[in-house]
Structures are given as C-alpha cells and as structure tokens.
Amino acid sequence: MVTVVLGLASALLYALHDLLTQRLSRAHGLILVLCWIIPVGAVIVVPLALAVDGLPSTAAEWGAVGYSAAAGVFYLATWFTIVRALQIGDLSLVAPLASLEGLFIAVYAIVRGTDMTALTVVGIGLAVIGGTLAAMQGRARSAAGAGWALLTSVLWTLTVICFDRAGEISWLSQAAWSRVTTLVLFVPVVIVVLGRSAAAWRPAEMGWPTRALCVGSGLLEMGAFAAMTLAVQRGPLAVAGVTIAQYATAAVILGLVFLKERPRRHQIVGVACTVVAVSILGAVG
C-alpha cells in the first residue's frame, strides 16, 4: 500500500510540475526555466544526503552510486526527448506513447522473475490501460514524433531500473547522486545552447514572481523525484512503475478540477480503470 501511495504521489506532483513548467517554458524557453528548476533539487537533496548518509564506503555502495549517476543521465535526456516529440508530433500520439514506461517496467520485472499473484497482474494491467487511455487526446494526424515519444518511455524505464539496481544506498543518496550528475551534464548544455544566441539568455525579462514560480516548479519536481525513488526502493518494482506512470491520469483529474476541462469518454474510462487498479494493488499490497 505504501508503494502505491508513493507512486501516485509522484505522479500527481509530476502532473502539477508539468502543468506549471509548460506555461513557464512557453514564455521563457525550456533551457532558461530548467536553469532554475534543476539546481533547486540539488541544493535541497545533496546537503541532506551528505548529512544523513555521508559518502559511500564500500565497493557495493560505489556501484550503487554508478547506477544512480546513470539514472541522472537518462533523466536529463527525457526532458529533451519529450520536448522534441511534442515539437514535431501530435499530443494525441505522443502522450500515450510517452507514458508506456509502466508497461515496460512491469515486463522487465516479470522477465527478472518477480513473483506476482494473479490479482497483482490484473491490477498492473488495468493501471497500464488506464494510464494510456487517460493520456490519449484524440486521433493523431500523423505518426510524427512517435520515435521520440517511445524513446522517452525507454529512458524513463531505464531511470527507474537504475534506481532499482542502486539498492545498496538509501533513496536519499540515490536522489542526490542522480541530481548531481544531471546538474553537471546540464551545465555544458546551457553553455552551448544559450551561448549560440544572446537573445536566448534573457534573465532580465524573468521577473522575481516568475523566478519564484520556477523555484516552486523545482520543488514540485524534487518532491515527485523523491517519491519516485522511495517507491522504487520499497517495491515491488512493477507496482512502483505503473503507479509512477499515472501522471497522465493525474493531469486529467487536475484539468477537470482546476481548469474546468471536459475529459473525453475514453479518458473517463482510463481514470476509472486506474481507480480500480489502485484499489486492487492497494488491497494486495
């Protein structure tokens, strides 16, 4: 039950973060917004991890650091692959394909020989179906962006798998080493992208209220990230994967409650499938 709650909390926080970041990036560009979002997590989680856990002391722990660092690489890449997918493809195609990591993670867990009851398999299946239906916006006009969307799902899957393999260190240290790696890799991206054009770097146009929103988005993202690592560490991995992947379902609910959006019929079915799946997984967990 705890894994289900953590996974859904991660999905909800990611949905809130995506909603806020999308609006900020449209006005100021993704790179400039990420310049505020990514360091926020590092400033919070790295000192905490050092204070609580200290530095790794065994070969196994350093191996876990390596997996966490790899997760940071894959995590950073997802920012750019999903943006590219949305630039060239229809949301109705990109969103469901990009949310398939729950299915991929479940398949990975099964291949690894994870023991599951029949009820757990049913719950995972309903969760995958629910998340996919909730992400669908309508009929896509073309297949453009499908490859980038699938790559996003694969990268998300690899991120979660790396955290699963990093069990020799705490979730806090996992998050810290991953975020340090993401930040270190992001710096040259900023230099290259923003260095090409002076117009791309417009900090003066981003007032303090907007910067505060960026920091708020960073806090949401860090909260979602922490809940994800906690869910993966507690396991089972398949349950963590499909619940974390419910951010599309969370986005539909947020749109209905706060933006007064009217979900499509298949999205309502998707939300219903997710509710049933969560009930099943919570009961068996």
- Token reading at 228: 């994800």
Give how far the C-alpha of residue 112 lies from the chain's centroid of Cα atoms, to the nearest Å.
23
Mean pLDDT of 77-98: 76
Which pLDDT does position 80 carry in this prediction?
Answer: 86
Burial status of residue 122 (CB atoms within 10 A of its CB: 0-12, 13-18, 19 or more) = middle
- Token reading at 118: 């029949």
Long-range contacts of 39-42 (CB under 8 A, 24+ apart): 39/183, 39/218, 40/215, 40/218, 40/219, 40/221, 40/222, 41/175, 41/179, 41/218, 41/221, 41/222, 41/225, 42/176, 42/179, 42/180, 42/182, 42/183
Burial status of residue 165 (CB atoms within 10 A of its CB: 0-12, 13-18, 19 or more) = middle
Q: For residue 17, what are the CA distances in angstroms to 46, 57, 129, 212?
A: 21, 35, 23, 13
Residue with the bigger pLDDT between 136 and 227: it is 227
Residue 235's nearest CA partner among 161, 131, 126 is 161
Q: For residue 184, what are the CA distances in angstroms to 7, 46, 197?
A: 27, 13, 22
Residue 285 has pLDDT above 60, yes or no: no
Nearby residues of 265 by Cβ (< 8 Å), 6 or more positions away: none
Least confident of 35-39, 110-114, 179-183: 110-114
Q: Domain ranges in the chain?
A: 2-284
Confidence at 197, pLDDT banded by 50, 70, 90: low
**3-state DSSP of 262-284:** CCCHHHHHHHHHHHHHHHHHHHH
Rounded to two decimals, the pTM is 0.85
CA angle, corner 248, sides to 247 and 253, nearest 5? 95
Residue with the bigger pLDDT between 68 and 202: it is 68
Residue 6 has pLDDT above 60, yes or no: yes
CA angle, corner 267, sides to 261 and 271, nearest 5? 100
Share of the chain above pLDDT 90, in %: 35
Residue 150 has pLDDT above 80, yes or no: yes
Which pLDDT does position 204 carry in this prediction?
Answer: 46
Residue with the bigger pLDDT between 284 and 61: it is 61
Average predicted confidence (pLDDT) for the chain: 84
Rounded Cα gap, residues 124 and 274, in angstroms: 9
Residue 122 has pLDDT above 80, yes or no: yes
Rounded Cα gap, residues 270 and 130, in angstroms: 4
Which pLDDT does position 195 carry in this prediction?
Answer: 67
Which pLDDT does position 207 carry in this prediction?
Answer: 78
Rounded Cα gap, residues 228 and 265, in angstroms: 29
Helices marked H in the chain — which ranges? 2-28, 30-52, 59-88, 91-98, 101-111, 118-135, 146-165, 171-195, 208-234, 237-244, 247-258, 265-284
